[in-house]
Amino acid sequence: MKYKKCISVLVLFLLGINNTFASDDDRYFQAYSQIIGSKPDSEEELTALVSDSDVLSEQSSLASVYIALLQSMLDHPTGFEEYKLAPKDHLKDIKRSHPALYFRHNILSAYNLAIQEKWRLAHSTIDEVIAFANDNDPELYFDAIATKSIFLARMGLIRASLNSGAKVLGELPSLTEKRFFGDGAIENMELEIGLNMSYLGENKRALELCSRAETFFYTRPLSSPHRYYQIALDCQRRSLENLGQIDEAFDMLEKYTEYATSIEDWNTYTYGLVLKIEYFYALGKVKEAHELIEKTESFISLLPTSYDTNTYQISRFKALVEQSEFERANALSALIIDNLSDEYSSPDLHWAQFKSIQSSLFEQLGNKEAAISALRDSKNFYQSLYYQTDDRKELFSDYYESALAERKLQLLKQQHELSQLELANSNRMNLILTAGALTLLGLLALISYLYAVQRRLKREQETLATVDTLTGVRNRRSLLGAVQLELNEAKSYKNDLSLVLIDLDNFKEINDNYGHECGDDLLKAFCEHVSKSIRKTDTFGRYGGEEFILCLPNTSAAEAKEVVSSILDSYRKVRITPNISAQTFSAGIAQYQTGIETSNLIKQCDEALYVAKRFGRNRVCIFSQDD
């Protein structure tokens, strides 16, 4: 949630904006640039500078649009405020006379739609900017692609966000070459991609990018949003934690909270406190967690209610229950219920956590019926999160799928705990009547329950199965779904895309001569080799038997042939077993053409593969209508 709160769609206005801005009326652009150079730090200072400008104080269409761009520097402190826009009648004039300026202003419009969660309109608006800027304004194109990427990240489509940003990452100037960042600045691609990578487990690369961003934003003027620097710190903390470097992660968290204190950003400070408390609990330092809560609870109680203060109060509630301070815990419980009953985004996780702790409180107070009810409520809220996750249509990375599996297994654990509590309650009540008979019934019930859990877990594992069990790569269903997403992306942005169908040469002979175990070793070695040889944005999986599909976005057929030929050359050197080496494969490549279906594209690959085999195998061929 903090991530969603921190990230926002951000708009880059470089001092050297494309000349199309100023070609018709240079004096407006000069006035705009002069105010940018003054680096206003407040709404009042910006208003005074605009009033003092002979040009921008005019009641004209150009002036109103430039003023909207200037206001974007200051009107966006948390990431949830809408930008102020120029009047619609002014925009009609600007669209005709200054289209680049009009579409840059449209990034603000797209962001406002995103704030209202009108995602379809937000995406269509930013797609219009991308379509215009692609051929007319490279800097605006980068900004629009970045905005699109951040929209996707905010929707939770992390892999799609990374893929969108990767299209321009190699072409972007480095941060140090950018000459202006205001509050409306693009959340630079280095930081954004680093942040997404930290969520997807690409921790070393995330550390590199976010560390670079931290250094850059630390020296920015005050008009640069504090949150960029904070996001860079939090990204590094998460990556260090994922790498198991807990001490370094905690040091980064200390730096994070100290900076939040220095700028009096109390929401961020509260978020940092909650993370510290969680670290202490995870490390078994319960006493330190309780001491930190006691030290800070008075101050936090003075802050306005927010997502972060609610998270803190739930941690405090947990500490009171653990310390058996039941009277204070009950009082805080009533406050938390009032706060969570107010409307704000996605409260299910808070309710689930709160109800779980409340169940423990009721159990310690001897109210078993209330304990069971609270734990059941907690399970239902976790179940709600479970279904929210299942409704995603995006294919996430393996890291995300693993996290999803873990979440579902945690849900089963919640169900198991519920049944244990119900069983214990039943046993205690019935023990008064007859211990022996009901103990036997209890054992039978437990065995029946464990059998049911085992069957349920098996069904969950089957549902989650998107990986080929032998090779560890995508299975056919997952593979074709991922390829379809890439084709949709190529169609939307008119990008190149190549599909490769690979068939291992002489695989049947390997099975016949050396046995199926050696054949399995060959399949696993081949998949491991290809997986190490391709990009993170490429898609690879087992199509069936010894056939595999490799999808290469943003890649022409000629470029794909170079990639696959290189993989073939290095694969020949792989030693599978003492008896099996110098293996080869044949491959057919087809380049995506607008309108072609996935099945037809695979058919073209198959025809090219047939040509490769016909000419002796051990080669790569591109589909041609003439073959």
Helical H runs in 7-118? 26-38, 43-52, 61-71, 88-97, 99-115
| Contacting residues for 33 by C-beta, under 8 A, at least 6 apart | 15
Structure tokens at 626: 């003439």
Q: Which residues pair with 504 in a beta bridge?
A: 585
**One-letter amino acid for residue 380 of the chain:** N
Distance CA(94)–CA(21), nearest Å, equals 11
**Rounded-to-integer distance, Cα 305 and Cα 316, Å:** 15
Residues linked to residue 586 through DSSP beta bridges, in sequence order:
503
Helix (H) or strand (E) holding 560: helix 557-571
**Which two three-digit tokens encode residue 301?**
């109680």
Q: Distance of CA 152 to CAs 76, 143, 355, Å?
A: 20, 14, 32
CA dist., res. 117 & res. 268, Å (int): 23
If one counts every other C-beta atom within 10 angstroms of the C-beta of residue 621, the result is 21
First-last CA distance in the chain:
54
Beta strand 497-504 with 585-591 is antiparallel
Give yes or no: 288 in active site. Answer: no
Find where tokens 């204190």 sit: 261
Query: Would you state the structure tokens that stand for residue 163, as one six-digit string?
Result: 């893929």
Interacting residues of 86 by C-beta distance below 8 A, sequence separation 6+: 61, 64, 65, 67, 68, 94, 105
The torsion defined by the Cα of 428, 429, 433 and 437, in degrees rounded to 10, comes to: -50
CA nearest 476: which of 548, 564, 397, 525? 548
What is the total residue count of the chain? Answer: 627
Q: Tokens representing 90? A: 């002014």
Query: CA 419 to CA 376: how far, in whole Å?
Result: 10
| Neighbouring-strand partners of residue 572 | none
Neighbours of 284 (CB within 10 A): 9
Nearest to 63 by CA among 74, 50, 45: 50
Among 278, 546, 559, 597, the one annotated catalytic: 546
Q: How far is CA 501 from CA 490, 552, 623, in A?
A: 19, 11, 11
* Catalytically active residues, by annotation: 546
